[in-house]
Structure 1
Amino acid sequence: MSDLTKKDLARFSRRYMIASQACFNYETMQSPGAIFAIGPLLEKIYDDNPDVLKDKFKAHLQFYNTQTTFGSAILAATLAIEETRDPNCTETAIAIRTSLMGPFAGIGDALFGTLPRVILAAMSGYAAIEGDFVTGLLTCLLGGGLIFYLRWLLIKTGFYQGAKFISEKQSQLNNIRQTVSILGIMIVGALIASNIGVVTPIEITVGESIKPLQEVFDGILPNLIPVIIVAAVYFGLDLKKMNTVRMVWVIVFISLILSYLGILA
């Protein structure tokens, strides 16, 4: 029968949520936060041998870095392996942790890092622009609550199913990551088209015919100018000594000049 209970796993979840990045450093990355989370549970497993527990803590202080929400499943699987008290369980747990933290970082960053923020922020922001502040607030709250619930499911899956499950399901998780990535790109594209209202008032005169340049751009691609602006900002952020604050000032400066010259409106 398992020595660790759901109450113990809930305690691990709370501690990891609070401290996963709190002691981040460039030598062991997230290991101090991970030990803070699993420490009380290791103490419960090895309370009869303090010397062994000391060695366990040293072993788990090795390099560890992954996406924190998705990585909770890895640490839960680590606890399940440690609970066996096998002589080689720590070496096995560290090996599995090391092999999974890289792939899980890529999958977790997409599923729980970048895309939820983009999608939830886009939906909430659009609702706020339309004057529906309550819907925007509820969208963020419900989205955050869903992520916390999924974290708990990952912890239970990692602990009760063990490392075998999360290893075997890695290909399916990659498919989910790709699907969600496509959805995120669609959301960003819709956000560009609906919220960046930049047009050009320039008109082309050929004889007695006057042709608005904006119609030419729309014939090539609707919302072409907003797409070009977003692409310029995206690639501009990779320039040397460029950061988001400086980019905002560049956008303001260029916008004022182009608006004054009548090039953009």
Structure 2
Amino acid sequence: MDNVLENGKTLLSIRGHMSGLTKKEQKVAQYILEHAQEVIYQSVTELAERADIGETTVLRLCRKLKFNGFQDFKLSLAQDLVKPFERLPMEVAEGDDPVTISQKLISSHYQILEQTHELLQPGELNRAVDALIRADHIDFYGVGSSGFAAMQAASTFMRMGKNSCYTADTHFQAMKAALMKPGDVAVGISITGSTKDTIDSLTLARKAGATILAITSNARSPIVKLADIVLLTVARENPFQGSSMSSKLSQMTVIDVLSVAVSLGMKDEAFKYRETTAKSIANKMI
């Protein structure tokens, strides 16, 4: 076994606590020891499913190991396992020159876009477009890097005349969600599908009668269980990456597909509003 795996303090801590764990905790602990490289990319839901135990058992194990939660545990585990250049796609090596890095990254991004296309289910995509065309109001929800995607999406749909909005403040997100109505669409963007603030806002929007559209890379996440329509994206990142470019590319590609399809569905109306919004900011240009 790799020395990093053998000497990592997190894995050593798991081994040291093994005798004091319950049978279910031992089961998930053993899974982590045998699949450590995979675990750093998994959500708590995925890990629980793979280890065939409940999510509460995973969280209880993290607490016994003196971590604040699952993300804190994954960050420590990733620190043990991940080397700096292993975090880059297409196996970028330390000696690569800029041209080689460019070739590898662009090739990786191309593959991500292809995989994103393969993940998009025609039925769900058509339902999403129809819901957005009919929507009286569209609210976009996301935090962190997914918040930037949500902000871009709101701007894009506003330009074509859709009454759309995004706010970064999670308190305002919650209030806006609670005020949504039937006929409105709440779009939740989350790479992991487990972002608490986004889940909370979508829950409020659902109670208010809005249609829930989820854009996520985790098909077994809480956001999927909450959503009426799900569009899956491609993302594979460890806790050190925060949000990789691959995740942003995948998210923005899906948003671009939706906006173009909705624009075509609105026909001349979308063009009219694009012209109106363009004129509204024309005097802002130097």
Q: TM-score normalised by the shorter chain: which range applies?
A: under 0.3
- The structure with the larger Rg is 1
Higher percent of residues as strand:
2
TM-score, normalised via structure 2 length: 0.25
Higher relative contact order (CA 8 A, sep 6+): 2
TM-score, scaled relative to structure 1: 0.26
